[in-house]
Homo-oligomer: A and B are copies of this chain.
C-alpha cells in the first residue's frame, strides 16, 4: 500500500509517516517510481507507535518496541529493552502523579485560604477600594 492509504488505516497523516521514517522508526520499500510502499507489518509498527505516543511516550522511548516487532514478535513489549522502558515509564508516571497530587494539595490549600479570608485580606486598611 502507498503512504496515503497507510495514513488512513493508521489514523494519522502522511507527514507523520515520513517523520517516523526520517527518525528510523518506519522503513517502507520503494517502488520503481520512487513511491513508498508499505506492507502489513509496517501497519502494525505504525499502530504500535501511535498507541504508545497516545500514552505519552517519545519516539526514542518507542524505538525498542518497534525493534521488538521487527524482530518478529507479536507484541512490541516482550523484549528486554522494551520492558526496561516500560518499567522506567511506569516509575516516571508514578512520580508525575505524586507531583501532581502535591500540586493539587497546594492549590486546594490556597483556595481554602482565599475563600476563608475573603474580605479579611483586603487592601490598605479601611475597607474601601482606596488603592494608592
Contacts and interface: CB of A to CB of B under 8 A. Distances in A.
A23 interface: no
B118 A78 contact: yes
Nearest to A77: B114
* Copies held by the complex: 2
Nearest to A131: B72
A104 B94 contact: yes
A107 B89 contact: yes
Interface size class of A (residues with CB under 8 A): 35 or more
25 contacts: A55-B106, A55-B107, A56-B103, A72-B123, A72-B132, A73-B121, A73-B123, A74-B129, A74-B131, A74-B132, A75-B113, A75-B114, A75-B117, A77-B113, A77-B114, A78-B117, A78-B121, A82-B114, A86-B111, A86-B114, A87-B111, A93-B107, A94-B104, A96-B100, A97-B101
